[in-house]
Amino acid sequence: MSETGGRLRRAWIARLGPRGEVGLDQAASPRAIVEDAVARVGADPVRWAIELNSVVLRRIVGEVPVLGGSPAAVEMLRRGNEATTLRALFTLVEGPAAAPPTGEAILEGIREFVHRAIPLERVLHGVRVGHAATTEAFLRACAELVDPEEAVDEVTAISRELFSYVDELSDTMIRTYLVEHEVWSTSAAAARADLVRSLLRDAAAADVDEASGVLGYNLRRTHMAVVVWSDSPKGGATLQAAAIEVLRARGATTTLVVPVASGRLWAWGTVPPDGTDRTEGLEGVDGTDGARPPGSWQTITEALSRQRMQAAFGTPGSGVAGFRRSHREAERGERIERLRRAAGRVPRYATGYADVAAIALLATDLDAAGDFVRRELGGLAARGAPMEALRTTLYHYLGAERSLVDVARRLHVARGTVTYRVKRAQEVLGHDLDDRRFALHTALALAEELGDAVLLPRDVER
């Protein structure tokens, strides 16, 4: 190890570089922080750290899933972990004294974990997982880049310094967590969030009138639940305003909003007790003045798409039991939209549970759903555009009671194309379409919605 230009040792770190194509613009950190890091350790080591952060993040969320919870929450975690990785680089290159103070990117995640009622031990578990993965990467790079005769001493030094670094980081995080927990636990927002979670766990446990008073929301009425989320860590006020807007559009007269993660919240609205849906049948219908009805799905969808948010609605339910059931349905709708996104489907900004209930129930056990789809579709369950076109055409063909005209119009293709695809799909299936028609149509519906999640793995495609 040597010291040059006032910077401490470890010239080999300057030779770090990513294994794949990684640009500085892929960093989670603000541009100014990235530029400062490049000035301190060089562009390639920073790109290496960005790549490493992606690997470590997957491991953390895989082993401690509760630290994720939403795309925005994962992005916040990515930002915080990248900051810790860059600080580790500075520590190894310049010494512990040169590392910057624990930044806001790290501490904002800790505060959110408190608000989401994630226990401190789960947070520290995530820290340990991240530390182990990061240390492993540094030691592996050291073994590759340092002369063998120096490697043993260098590995020992790196292990010691990284352990000291994460020990100091953990202390800071624990202090931040405990301070925030003390403040949060005495706040009205925390009391409301805890009460709502209690109601969702056991609808019969609470005194309804007392709970209504604490929440400022009448639990004896009829409720419609919604989950609103965004890929970016939107401010709580922005999400709250969107949730209230869409619930009002659905006929709600009073609302209850509970933030649950960065970029995600739960909300409820009291709706007419007869259970009718004031927007039912209004999609695509204009009012007498040429404007869309204020509660139409299209209006709601446009409002959400402008803000790049999504919302999943439960069906109306009465009392605390309905409050709980509608929320459960909204979360199932959200899950289906996340599965559709993973399958590369175009996002639906507004999703009503009644429209996806069958798929949501069928996909409760995703592994079993995949087994069912692959068994029913056989070779038609292979991935790729050709088979997807056959599946989509056959799905609409069965749904349209075999009307070539309807399918051609819906898919914007010629009738001859529909005829060819249906014939080809039947050949791949190897049996008549009337054989097990319900099971066939159900399997096609699952494949249409969930894509790769229920299709043949690439290594066994036919």
Say if residue 254 is in the same domain as residue 354.
yes
Say if residue 353 is in the same domain as residue 389.
no
Residue 61 lies in a domain: yes
Count of domains for the chain: 3
Which among 328, 360, 392 is the end of a domain? Answer: 360
Residue 198 lies in a domain: no
Residue 192 lies in a domain: no
Residue 38 lies in a domain: yes
Say if residue 216 is in the same domain as residue 75.
no
Say if residue 225 is in the same domain as residue 334.
yes
Residue 194 lies in a domain: no
Q: What is the pTM of this model?
A: 0.64
Q: Which domain holds residue 156?
A: 3-185
Say if residue 210 is in the same domain as residue 229.
yes
Say if residue 11 is in the same domain as residue 156.
yes
Which among 360, 386, 421 is the end of a domain? Answer: 360
Q: Which two tokens stand for residue 50?
A: 């960005």
Cβ–Cβ < 8 Å for 226, 243 = yes
Which CATH number do you get for residue 430? 1.10.10.2840
Say if residue 156 is in the same domain as residue 93.
yes
Say if residue 334 is in the same domain as residue 396.
no
In a 13 Å sphere around the CA of 369, the CA atoms on its Cβ side amount to: 23
Residue 31 lies in a domain: yes
Which CATH number do you get for residue 216? 3.30.70
Say if residue 36 is in the same domain as residue 163.
yes
Beta strand residue intervals within 245-388, DSSP E: 255-261, 264-271, 309-313, 317-318, 350-352
Which among 185, 217, 249 is the end of a domain? Answer: 185
Residue 196 lies in a domain: no
Q: Which of 348, 349, 372, 352 is nearest to 360 (CA)?
A: 352
Per-residue pLDDT of the chain (462 residues; tens, 9 = 90+): 333 334 446 788 888 999 999 999 999 888 888 998 898 888 999 999 999 999 999 999 999 998 887 788 888 889 889 988 988 888 888 777 666 666 777 778 888 888 888 888 888 899 999 999 999 999 999 888 888 888 888 889 888 888 888 888 888 888 888 888 877 767 777 788 888 999 998 766 678 888 888 888 999 999 999 999 988 765 567 888 888 889 988 889 899 998 887 788 999 999 988 644 444 433 333 333 444 444 577 888 888 888 889 999 999 999 999 999 999 999 999 999 988 888 888 889 999 999 999 999 999 898 999 999 999 999 999 988 899 999 999 999 998 888 899 999 999 999 999 999 999 999 999 888 888 889 999 999 999 999 888 998 755 444
Say if residue 223 is in the same domain as residue 328.
yes
Instruction: Give CA–CA dist 81/216, Å, rounded.
Output: 38
Q: Which two tokens stand for residue 318?
A: 């009465």
Say if residue 75 is in the same domain as residue 128.
yes
Say if residue 264 is in the same domain as residue 399.
no
Residue 314 lies in a domain: yes
Instruction: Give CA–CA dist 203/191, Å, rounded.
Output: 17
